[in-house]
Amino acid sequence: MKWFLFPRRRHQAEKEVEDFIRQSFGIRPGHLSYYEQALRHSSVAEKIRPGLKNSNERLEFLGDAVLDSIVAHYLYTKYPSLPEGELTKMKSKVVRRENLNLLGYALGIESLLKLNLGRQEMHDSIVGNAVEAMIGAIYLDKGFDVTREIVLRLLKQHGLDTRVHDDVDYKSKLHEWCQKHRKTLDFRVVGHSNRGGSSHYKVVVRIDDEDRGSGEGGSKKTAEQNAARIACEAIFKG
């Protein structure tokens, strides 16, 4: 009886991945194994086939390079008069780690990840890494032109292409993350001075009553943003 159950479970897992690919990217996978590997974290890869490097890390490496190339070409053609330095800054705002993490959650990719972290919590960067691995899988399966079309569509759908013009609102992003994960968020002024007519604030950000970062500035708002930036860097880039 057990011999028949495994193929059935395998077929169901394959169908879930196929459905995800069609719904999220609008394509039918040609080589499903690429996408399965993109969803396989290193914590389970060694247990499946010891000694074989079949986690998503190599696909993540490839996807990172493909993503950089797509965004660089997009910015190069859209802003023909900008110098290299400005284009580099704009690209970094689009492909930064926190954006990939948020995109992964928006796609729901975390629900399909295969991992075995024991008692450790899944860090958000694992989700962002899987997004890069998925881009690598699409590239291998469908080629660069199709991958570019899909990536640009996703970036525009989720507003990531507009980040080239915006300074990051770390406080808002922290609020969004805490709401998503049902955590309490509190900004506390722990220091305030007024010398020579200039104010100076120090703020601590607390998540679930735990200090996650502190910031200083000439206004309470600036200090809160600086504290939120420290917290976001730890959460999304750690």
| 198-207 vs 185-195, strand pairing mode | antiparallel
Q: Which DSSP string corresponds to 202-219?
A: EEEEEETTEEEEEEEESS
Q: Tell me if residue 157 falls in helix, strand or coil.
A: helix
The CB-side HSE value for 36 (13 A sphere, CA atoms) comes to 16
Q: Choose the catalytic residue: 36, 64, 161, 224.
A: 64
**158 and 44 part of one domain:** yes
Provide, rounded to the nearest whole percent, the portion of the chain with pLDDT above 90.
45
pLDDT at 5 over 90: no
Read off the pLDDT of each residue in 19-47 and give the average, rounded to a whole number: 89
pLDDT, position 167: 57
Give CB contacts under 8 A, 24+ apart, made by 57-60.
57/133, 58/136, 59/34, 59/132, 59/133, 59/134, 59/136, 59/137, 59/140, 60/129, 60/130, 60/132, 60/133, 60/136
The CATH number of the domain holding residue 13 is: 1.10.1520.10
Say if residue 191 is in the same domain as residue 110.
no
Comparing C-alpha atoms, which of 223, 224, 218 is closest to residue 197? 218
237 pLDDT exceeds 80?
A: no
What six digits make up the tokens of 182?
């049902």
196 and 162, same structural domain? no
Q: How many domains does the chain have?
A: 2
pLDDT band at 3 (very low <50, low <70, confident <90, very high): very low
Asked which of 134, 166, 198 is the last residue of a domain, the reply is: 166
Is 60 catalytic? The answer is no
CATH number of the domain encompassing residue 232: 3.30.160.20
pLDDT bracket for residue 49 (50, 70, 90) = low
Q: Which strand ranges, in their side-by-side order, compose the sheet holding 198-207?
A: 185-195, 198-207, 210-217
Same domain, 95 and 128: yes
Of 166, 190, 215, the residue that ends a domain is 166
Position 4 confidence tier, pLDDT thresholds 50, 70, 90? very low
Catalytic-residue membership of 121? no
Reduce the DSSP state of residue 191 to 3 states and report it. Answer: strand
Is residue 20's pLDDT more than 90?
yes
Average model confidence (pLDDT) across the chain? 85
How far is residue 186's CA from residue 212's CA, in Å, rounded to a whole number? 10
Q: Which of 36, 60, 98, 132 is catalytic?
A: 132
pLDDT at 178: 93
182 and 121 within one domain: no
The answer on 120 and 8 residing in a single domain is yes
Percent of the chain with pLDDT over 70: 85
**Do 101 and 204 fall into the same domain?**
no
Task: Domain of residue 101: give its range.
Answer: 2-166
Q: What is the pLDDT of residue 53?
A: 64
Q: Which of 129, 144, 166 is the last residue of a domain?
A: 166
pLDDT at 51 exceeding the cut of 60? no
pLDDT (tens digit, 9 = 90+) per residue, 126-171? 899 999 999 999 999 999 999 999 999 998 887 777 666 555 678 8
Residue pLDDT, tens place only, 181-194: 999 999 999 998 87
* Domain co-membership, 190 together with 227: yes
**Do 180 and 110 touch, CB atoms closer than 8 A?**
no
